[in-house]
Structure 1
């Protein structure tokens, strides 16, 4: 594998000569969902029992609320959930909880509840208990339609997670990603969206050639991405509810790597309309662009600071790809990465305290994180071909693309490196993930 930015297998450069044929731009049923394979849990995982919820009325077989909550908490890596077969009792209300039983099983927290169908609506009542303190921590009754049960379960997971950890849960968020399958000896690329556990996947865009660089708007209602509908690259925004699409940038040369500003009013872009790949900012309302970098090198892959205080980007101005930070439109960039010959695709955590990026070490490409103030670097992943990191909106997990068994899959690692799982597609490759914001 090459050591230079221009030869590295990053999509934005190699596919300028491709011509994309767009075949669909509305949501259609997915042919393949993602699968969760938990590969490692954190050693400090909290023991917790999620008791199977009592059920009244006929409920969809694929929407077991307590099972979804159990899976959510397990995949976070921060909880070690008890198998129902090991439980001494199955209470559904607080008055049926005997703390001694759960203490004997070594459980720190306990979740009980019941699900009641009333016509086309389902009411779910749940209660969370601290076993050690013998206290009720949380409880409410929530309601949804039959089709919204999985989303309601993710909501309960968020509430439980925050009550215990003090950090907002991100189980109700979504993933955007690209899948690749062979169909009739042709490549078929799909832009898909799913829940964070890979379920309820839907296709939002199809093409016979690559779709690139999905990015979420701050309100979670739209995606930006790169397409080639006119025979050259262009940047589009796509409203998810309506399917409406808008072409924002179609300048001569490169149009790539969009990133939405925190206020949703502008995009950072990589453009080569003036002869070299540079970072620009586009006002979405007026389409006016302003050049932010000016160097003979390649500047690309911009990422806003979460408070809009400047931006990260990748540049080979030092002789190889490294991560830089520019604190304002007119300020001089500051190099951040010095370890290794290749550091690229930087992403901020939601509080701006850490950055995450692709880091080469001993011939392999890993995901690393760096303390933005101190510069201390930690390598988080151990596979050999990791790329395209995206941080969860609560800052606790990081999703990225990697190689497994000769195919591209998505993998998730906790930002402390203590737990991880994979999300392979049931068919074909899956890559280029983007984690949605938390939308209240």
Structure 2
């Protein structure tokens, strides 16, 4: 294990003011520091423990081992596809944005298009000030249903004043706006906050653009755990190790990450505090300890242990302690994930002869099979609204992301790639992030539930995998 110079990032405060006043929001950046951890439930400084990443496809029914100096993962966002119903929105360039280090309107446009709910209307060359009412008749002629206007101004102390306003072009209504005073480092975050505001005002649902994702990279022989914005930008290293770490999982509050590290030459479960960089050992029992998953209340983790022979499901207090076995099984049970209400746990088992997804009560009992289409189904993920199950199915020799309507049981393949892994839902249940190979390169991608709109987050090199989409956090 090793310390990463300069990896500790202090919490950052951003002031957010609404044109309809809101309270200031606090935004915490991830922090990492280092040191080894001796016992279950012990709180220790987190050594950027290099954790080796294993694909869940390879680890679904058997664990393997196998890490690199952290390098900032650079992403390029590519959006493809056409949705069936998309709201046309004109995002006029912000006044003063040409002199700013970040082009706010372009970031907002990429966010909204990635959601699959919006299509951009050309507004190039028409910078609008949020302080005056635009000519909405002109924008109706341009077939826009919504319009944004805004400004960005550098202040004497080096910070930036960012303001914007949203208009309903069809109804001629002012839908409100916000103003932010931030440092240069947080201009992208401001853009994501603006995207969230627009998305919620126009769809009635919360936007996920200011949430975060965690993922793992392998460069050379070293593994790194990263936390980044939902579009893959602003990546910060949480851990780095020459030994594998897999299965990062966000806590419901978005303040902690559970993961599996092989730094002890065996799989061990830790929980890492993303703001302090401290971590605690949760499961280091005889045999393997893997596949942590949080309960919705954050008090419990479901894990896979082999301490009693074979891989079986257990629950354990989130602070550590003695695990409780959920059921007796002659097969291999792994990859648990709680239902959105916390009453059930979905998991993968070969008890029927091939890997399939099952469901059991969170307190144990009998299991029922969930997937019947295909002979190999793994990596379950459940949407926050409880309506959808995402998973990976082996199809025609490849591995494809499928989305199932849990009410009807109907499942649909939503990708055209053949090496998909590790799906995770956005907290508003409208998008899925997953790892795959495209054009011979490892990539993270997001897709709408119908597969119509995809965004490719393409790195500059090395393996990129094990994504997990973080929850909504307090603003």
TM-score, structure 2 length as denominator? 0.84
Residue in structure 1 matched with residue 172 of structure 2 by the alignment = 134
Whole-angstrom CA distance in 2 between matches of 1:76 and 1:392: 10
Q: How does 1:299-318 map to 2 (within 5 A)?
A: 299-318=333-352
Of 248, 254, 265 in structure 2, the residue corresponding to residue 214 of structure 1 is 248
Deviations, residues 343-389 of structure 1 (Å, cap 9, x unaligned):
11111100111111112222221111112222122221121111110
Residue 432 of structure 1 pairs with residue 457 of structure 2: no
8 A contact 2:326–2:365 mirrored in 1: no
Where does residue 138 of structure 2 map in the other structure? 101
> Could you say which residue in structure 2 is the equivalent of 1:361?
395
When the two chains are superposed, the root-mean-square deviation of aligned CA atoms in Å is 2.1
For the 8 Å contact 1:345–1:388, the answer to whether it is kept is yes
Pairing of 1:42-121 with structure 2 (within 5 A): 42-55=83-96, 59=100, 61=101, 63-85=102-124, 89-93=126-130, 95-118=132-155, 119-121=157-159
Q: Which moved more, 1:31-40 or 1:9-18?
A: 9-18
Q: Distance in 2 between matches of 1:220 and 1:147?
A: 21
Displacement of 1:72 in angstroms is 1.0
Is 1:51–1:92's contact at 8 Å kept on the other side of the alignment? no
Of the candidates 324, 336, 353, which is equivalent to residue 290 of structure 1? 324
Report the CA distance between 1:238 and its aligned residue.
Answer: 0.8
Q: Does the residue aligned with 1:44 lie in a helix, a strand or coil?
A: coil
Structure 1 consecutive aligned stretches of length 4 or more whose deviation exceeds 3 Å: 11-18, 56-59
> Which residue number corresponds to residue 188 of structure 2?
150
Contact 1:270–1:301 under 8 Å retained in 2: yes
1:8 CA drift (Å): 8.6
Q: Distance in 2 between matches of 1:81 and 1:57?
A: 20
Report if aligned partners of 2:312, 2:325 keep a CA contact under 8 Å in 1. Answer: yes
1:279 to 295, 313, 329: 313
Pick closer, same or farther for the CA change 1:304–1:56 going to 2, 3 Å: closer
Alignment of 1:19-30 (within 5 A): 30=71
Report the Cα offset of residue 141 of structure 1.
2.2
Residues 2-35 of structure 1 show CA distances to partners (whole Å, capped at 9, x for unaligned) of xxxxx994236655454x7xx88xxx7x433222
What is the rounded CA distance, in whole Å, between the counterparts of 1:139 and 1:200 in structure 2? Answer: 25
**Structure 2: runs of 5 or more not aligned:** 1-54
* Residue matched to 1:10: 58
**Given the superposition, is the C-alpha separation of residues 17 and 77 from structure 1 closer, same or farther in structure 2, using an over 3 Å criterion?**
closer
Which consecutive residues of structure 1, in runs of 5 or more, have no partner in the other structure? 1-6
Quote how far apart the aligned CAs of 1:192 are: 0.9
How big is the shift at 1:287?
Answer: 1.3
Q: 8 Å contact 1:277–1:298 — kept in the other structure?
A: yes
How many aligned residue pairs are there? 419
TM-score by length of 1: 0.90
